[in-house]
């Protein structure tokens, strides 16, 4: 048998197999019981979607205040560091000697002050005796004047000794504080974003050790069109902030997601418009309890436009998500048909969606039982005796 004949035989066998599969009796798929809610055209407040990102309010490059070899580093990237915790230590051997020397000098000066104070007290006692002797005639005026002069001299010497002692006390305090600066501590609660040094490295003053980012309080920085800036200056106006990375999936249905959305007042409008896009940076500060929001996460902002208009809405339970984005199932003649959508913003328990050629008022969106559906699966609407024969777009 030739190779050509063998190939023809194989093709014929495949064709026969396909024919048998196509002619085999098929079993009807069971209809899934679902609940539906109609797509509506409603008059709603309009919001403008803008974009931005999360930023930290406090971000600091912690640097060495003294120079020396690094003895230890107690922080790695991603570590949460409370305020006051030791981040690193430099070799303090010479600073320790300087502190001890300064402390000894200060103590010696205190002894000198005590000596001068004793001299002054002795001179004052002598002056009292000479004063009593002058009244009785036993002491001359010259002796009394000499005793009085000695008191003045010792008073001046004591004042000078006390001033010198204060200088040495300050030097000792400065030496002790300098020694403390060889221990580098976190100035605020934060997370290490970047580690800049290792044990054994020599650091000069100002060399970076770690970059610390505070996550307790963060801000959303969004870009708002100039036409809306004047409106959002009203203190009563609130902006909706959504962080997609923090959306929570429904534990019972991974295709359904609970958006992480906040409604917050404006913190500030930065007066620095982009000359090309005409967008103003707007700051919205919010409490980041649990530190879920991280700097750099994308933000979707919704800014009220102050106008109303007719928009398509669907029930929020109709919206499912997969790797390709958002979609809903509609009841198309008794079959479940997926339709890709783009949600814009929520209005109560409904969501405003963008225009779609397959969706219009009256189309039945499946809101319950949709998590188990697959395309073209037969569906039966709860409360209806037979499948509805509506087609996509009916009633539009």
Q: Same domain, yes or no, for 226 and 177?
A: no
In a shared domain, residues 169 and 286: no
Average pLDDT, the chain: 85
- Cα gap 271→280, rounded to integer Å: 7
Q: How many domains does the chain divide into?
A: 3
Q: Is the pLDDT of residue 220 over 90?
A: yes
Is the domain of 115 the same as that of 223? no
Do 206 and 240 fall into the same domain? no
> Cα(286)–Cα(366) distance, rounded to whole angstroms?
36
Nearest to 89 by CA among 173, 192, 209: 209
Q: Which two tokens stand for residue 236?
A: 């009563």
Measured CA to CA, the distance from residue 379 to residue 5 in angstroms comes to 49
The pLDDT, as a whole number, for residue 32 is 86
SS3 readout for 113-149: HHHHHHHHHHHHHHHHHHHHHHHHCCCCHHHHHHHHH
Q: Which residues are 250's β-sheet partners?
A: 253
Q: How many CB atoms lie within 10 A of CB 111?
A: 11
pLDDT in tens, 315-333: 998 999 888 888 999 998 8
Threshold 0.85, pTM exceeds: no
Query: Residue 22: inside a domain, yes or no?
Result: no
CA distance 184 to 67: 12
Q: Looking at the structure, do residues 146 and 124 belong to the same domain, yes or no? A: yes
51 and 62 in a single domain? The answer is: no
Here the CATH number for the domain that contains residue 67 is 2.40.50.100
Are 188 and 297 found together in one domain? Answer: no
Same domain membership, residue 345 and residue 266: yes
Task: Indicate the helix (H) or strand (E) that contains 17.
Answer: helix 3-23
203 and 277 together in one domain: no
Residue 114 has pLDDT above 90, yes or no: yes
Q: What distance in Å separates the CA atoms of residue 16 and residue 18, rounded to the nearest whole number?
A: 5
Is the pLDDT at 64 greater than 90? The verdict is yes
Which residue range is the domain that position 63 belongs to? 58-90+184-213
Q: Smallest Cα–Cα separation from 228: which of 70, 48, 74, 1?
A: 48
């Amino acid at each position: 048998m030739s190779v050509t004949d063998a190939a023809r035989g194989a093709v014929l066998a495949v064709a026969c197999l396909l024919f048998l599969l196509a002619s085999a009796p098929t079993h009807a798929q069971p209809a899934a019981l679902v609940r539906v809610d109609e797509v509506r055209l409603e008059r709603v407040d309009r919001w403008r979607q803008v974009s931005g990102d999360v930023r930290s309010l406090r971000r600091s490059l912690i640097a060495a205040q003294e120079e020396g070899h690094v003895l230890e580093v107690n922080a790695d990237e991603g570590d949460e560091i409370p305020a006051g915790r030791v981040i690193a230590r430099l070799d303090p051997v010479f600073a320790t000697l300087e502190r001890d020397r300064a402390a000894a000098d200060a103590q010696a000066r205190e002894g000198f002050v005590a000596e001068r104070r004793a001299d002054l007290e002795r001179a004052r006692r002598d002056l009292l005796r000479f004063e009593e002797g002058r009244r009785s005639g036993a002491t001359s005026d010259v002796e009394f004047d000499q005793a009085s002069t000695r008191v003045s001299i010792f008073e001046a010497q004591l004042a000078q000794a006390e001033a010198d002692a204060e200088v040495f006390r300050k030097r000792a305090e400065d030496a002790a504080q300098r020694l403390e600066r060889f221990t580098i501590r976190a100035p605020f609660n934060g997370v290490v974003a970047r580690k800049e040094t290792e044990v054994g490295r020599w650091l000069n003053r100002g060399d970076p050790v770690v970059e610390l980012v505070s996550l307790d309080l963060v801000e959303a920085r969004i870009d708002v069109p100039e036409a809306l800036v004047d409106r959002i200056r009203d203190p009563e106006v609130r902006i909706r902030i959504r962080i997609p990375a923090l959306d929570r999936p429904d534990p019972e249905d991974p295709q359904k997601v609970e958006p992480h959305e906040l409604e917050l007042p404006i913190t500030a409008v930065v007066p620095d418009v982009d000359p090309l896009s005409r967008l103003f940076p707007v700051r919205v500060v919010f409490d980041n309890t649990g530190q879920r929001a991280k700097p750099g996460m994308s933000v979707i902002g919704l800014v009220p436009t102050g106008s109303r208009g007719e928009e398509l809405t669907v029930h929020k339970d109709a919206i499912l998500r997969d790797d390709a984005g958002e979609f809903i199932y509609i009841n198309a003649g008794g079959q479940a048909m997926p339709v890709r959508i783009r949600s814009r913003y929520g209005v109560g328990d409904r969501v405003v969606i963008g225009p779609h050629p397959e969706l219009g008022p009256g189309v039945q969106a499946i809101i319950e039982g949709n998590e188990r559906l697959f395309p073209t699966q037969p569906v039966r609407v709860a409360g209806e005796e037979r499948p509805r024969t509506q087609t996509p777009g009916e009633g539009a």
